[in-house]
Amino acid sequence: MQVPVLYNQRIVDLTMQQHGNVEYMFDVALAVGRGITDNDIEAGLVFEIPAVDNTAPERSISAVLRKFNNRPASADNGLNIIAPPGGIGYMEVGRNFIVS
């Protein structure tokens, strides 16, 4: 089936969206010619995702995602800001921990 890629979607997102189980992630990656860790998949591309014979309970996950038109997109967009370490474990007496 043909599936358009949305902004910030990765192979794992497409796999969960279509099959409801990450077990098929390698099959999807091989079919679309991408790596499972690729974060730079261009939005708007249309991939041919292989169909699988999946009647397991996980299939209901993809059914729920479709019902609510929810399409997972978990790629890092570069906007995540990592705070510098801080707190008691990183304080130094006389420098940033003042004892009065």
Q: What is the pLDDT of residue 11?
A: 93
Domain ranges of the chain: 1-100
Convert the pLDDT of each residue in 15-27 to its tens digit.
Answer: 988 888 888 899 9
Task: Point out which residues pair with 46 in neighbouring strands.
Answer: 4
pLDDT tens-place string over residues 29-88: 999 999 998 888 999 999 999 887 766 665 677 777 778 887 878 777 667 777 777 777
In this structure, the number of other CB atoms found within 10 A of the CB of residue 75 comes to 17
Cβ proximity of 39 and 75 under 8 Å: yes
As a three-state string, the secondary structure of 22-65 is HHHHHHHHHHHCCCCCCCCCCCCCEEECCCCCCCCCCHHHHHHH
Global confidence as pTM: 0.64
